[in-house]
C-alpha cells in the first residue's frame, strides 16, 4: 500500500470522524488545511502525497481534546494501520503531525522536514484571517471563555503546560498566538500567504478595541 493509495480511505474516515465539531476543528478546517498545504507543497517542491496524508491526520488525537500524552501517536497509528499502512509509513506521517501544533509564544515547535513545514504553515494560516477570527471565538465559546476583559493581560507562555492550562479570554489568544504566527511561517510561500490574513487580524483587533471604548 502506497501513501497515495491510503489517502482516499483515510480521507473518508476523517471526514466521518470530524463531521460534528463546534471548536473550529471540523472537517471543513481539515479540508482547508489540506488545500493550503498542497498549494504550499507544490511551490516548495515537497512530497505532495506525504503532505496530503499528514494534513488529513494533523488534528487526530490533538492535545487539547485528549489528556493522555501519546494520544496523537496512538490514534494516528491506529487509523493508518487499520487501512494497511506499514510502521515506516506511520513514522513518516508522525514526524510531520507531531510538529504541527502551536505550544506557546516562547516555545519552539520546529518542523524539520519540508513536508512538516508545509503542513504547519497551512494549519497556522487557517488560524489567521476572517476564518481565524471565527475559529478563535468558536473555540472560546466552546470553552466558556469571555470575549474580552481589559483587566486580564496576555501572557507570553514559556512552557506548553502553561499555554495549555491558560483559561483567559479570547482576545488574549490574539496576543498569545495569532499575531505571532506571521513571523513563524516556515516557508516562503506560507509567509506570503500570511501577510493579508495577518493584516486582517490587526484590523479586527484595532476595530474591536475602538468599539470597546465606545469610539
Kindly state whether residue 59 participates in binding Ni ion, applying the rule CB under 5 A: yes
Task: Decide: 143 and 65 in contact? Cβ < 8 Å.
Answer: no
Cell numbers 503546560 correspond to 161
Angle at 120 between CA 116 and CA 121, to 5 degrees: 115
Residue (of 51, 55, 52, 98) closest to 74 by Cα position: 98
Considering only residues 83 through 142, tell me which ones interact with Ni ion, judged by CB under 5 A.
123
* Dist CA 115 CA 31 (whole Å): 17
Taking the least distance from each CB to ligand ADP, the nearer of 9 and 101 is 101
Helix axes 48-57, 114-125, angle to 10 degrees: 50
Kindly state whether residue 33 participates in binding ligand ADP, applying the rule CB under 6 A: no
Binding mask 112-131 for ligand ADP (x = CB under 6 A): -----------xx--x----
Q: Within 10 Å of residue 76's Cβ, how many Cβ atoms?
A: 23
Tell me which of ligand ADP, Ni ion, none is bound by residue 174, counting a contact when its beta carbon lies within the kind-specific cut-off of 5 to 8 angstroms: none
Tell me which of ligand ADP, Ni ion, none is bound by residue 170, counting a contact when its beta carbon lies within the kind-specific cut-off of 5 to 8 angstroms: ligand ADP
Work out how close the CB of 4 gets to ligand ADP at its nearest, in angstroms, rounded to a whole number: 25
Taking the least distance from each CB to ligand ADP, the nearer of 83 and 169 is 169
Rounded to the nearest 10°, the torsion over CA 200, 201, 207, 213 is -170
Kindly state whether residue 61 participates in binding ligand ADP, applying the rule CB under 6 A: no
User: Which three cell numbers mark 130?
Assistant: 476572517
Tell me which of ligand ADP, Ni ion, none is bound by residue 52, counting a contact when its beta carbon lies within the kind-specific cut-off of 5 to 8 angstroms: none
Kindly state whether residue 170 participates in binding ligand ADP, applying the rule CB under 6 A: yes
Stretch that binds ligand ADP, among 67-75, 86-94, 95-103, 200-208 (CB under 6 A): 95-103
DSSP 87: H
> Measured in Å, how far apart are the chain's first and last C-alpha atoms?
61
Where does this chain bind Ni ion (CB under 5 A)? 59, 123
Where does this chain bind ligand ADP (CB under 6 A)? 24, 62, 64, 100-102, 123-124, 127, 132, 135-136, 139-140, 170, 173, 177-178
Amino acid at each position: 500500500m502506497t501513501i497515495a493509495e491510503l489517502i482516499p480511505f483515510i480521507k473518508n474516515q476523517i471526514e466521518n470522524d470530524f463531521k460534528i465539531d463546534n471548536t473550529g476543528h471540523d472537517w471543513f478546517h481539515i479540508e482547508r488545511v489540506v488545500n493550503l498545504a498542497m498549494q504550499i507543497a507544490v511551490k516548495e517542491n515537497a512530497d505532495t502525497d506525504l503532505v496530503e496524508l499528514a494534513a488529513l491526520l494533523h488534528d487526530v488525537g490533538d492535545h487539547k481534546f485528549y489528556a493522555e500524552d501519546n494520544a496523537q501517536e496512538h490514534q494516528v497509528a491506529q487509523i493508518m494501520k487499520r487501512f494497511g499502512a506499514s510502521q515506516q509509513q506511520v513514522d513518516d506521517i508522525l514526524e510531520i503531525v507531531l510538529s504541527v501544533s502551536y505550544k506557546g509564544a516562547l516555545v519552539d515547535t520546529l518542523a524539520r522536514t519540508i513536508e512538516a513545514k508545509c503542513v504547519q504553515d497551512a494549519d497556522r494560516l487557517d488560524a489567521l484571517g476572517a476564518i481565524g477570527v471565527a475559529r478563535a471565538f468558536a473555540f472560546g465559546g466552546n470553552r466558556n471563555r469571555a470575549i474580552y476583559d481589559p483587566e486580564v493581560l496576555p501572557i507570553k507562555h514559556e512552557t506548553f503546560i502553561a499555554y495549555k492550562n491558560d483559561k483567559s479570554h479570547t482576545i488574549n489568544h490574539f496576543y498569545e498566538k495569532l499575531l505571532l504566527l506571521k513571523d513563524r511561517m516556515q516557508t516562503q510561500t506560507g509567509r506570503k500567504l500570511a501577510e493579508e490574513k495577518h493584516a486582517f487580524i490587526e484590523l479586527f483587533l484595532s476595530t474591536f478595541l475602538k468599539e470597546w471604548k465606545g469610539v
